[in-house]
Amino acid sequence: MAQFKLLTKILAIAAILGLGTWGIIYVSAPAYNGTVGITYGSAYAPVRDKSVDFHVWYPATPGRRDVTVGGNGVFHGTRAGRDAPSAEGRYPVILVSHGAGGNATQFGWIASKLAKAGYVVVLPNHPGTTSRNASAEAAVRVWERPADISAVIAEMVEHPQAYPFIDTDRIATLGFSAGGYTAMALAGARVDPDALQNFCDNGDQGMSDCAFLKRGGIDLHAMDLSPAGQDLRDPHIRAAVIIDPGIVSTLTKQSLSTIDIPMLVINLGEETHVPAGVYARPAAEMIPSARYEIVPDASHFSFLAQCTAKGAEILAREGEPDPLCDDAGGRARQAIHDDLSARILGFLETFEWQVKTDRTALLDTTALQ
pTM listed for this prediction: 0.87
Residue 16's φ and ψ, nearest 5 degrees, are -60, -45
For residue 313, give Cα distances in angstroms to 54, 136, 175.
31, 26, 28
3-state secondary structure of 299: coil
pLDDT value of residue 91: 96
Counting every residue written for the chain, the total comes to: 369
In whole angstroms, give the CA distance from residue 43 to residue 259: 27
pLDDT value of residue 129: 86
Q: What is the pLDDT of residues 113-130, one digit of tens each?
A: 999 999 999 999 999 888
Interior angle at CA 12, CA 7 and CA 16, nearest 5: 155
Q: Are strands 133-134 and 129-130 parallel, antiparallel or unpaired?
A: antiparallel
Q: Find all residues with CB under 8 Å of 350, minimum gap 6, and list them.
A: 262, 364, 366, 367
pLDDT value of residue 352: 66
| Residue type (1 letter), 275 | P
What's the mean per-residue pLDDT of the chain? 87
Which residues of the chain carry a pLDDT beneath 70? 1-28, 352-369
Q: What is the pLDDT of residues 8-49, one digit of tens each?
A: 444 443 443 333 434 445 556 788 899 999 999 999 999 999
Dihedral angle computed from the Cα positions of residues 269, 274, 275 and 280, in that order, rounded to the nearest 10 degrees: 110
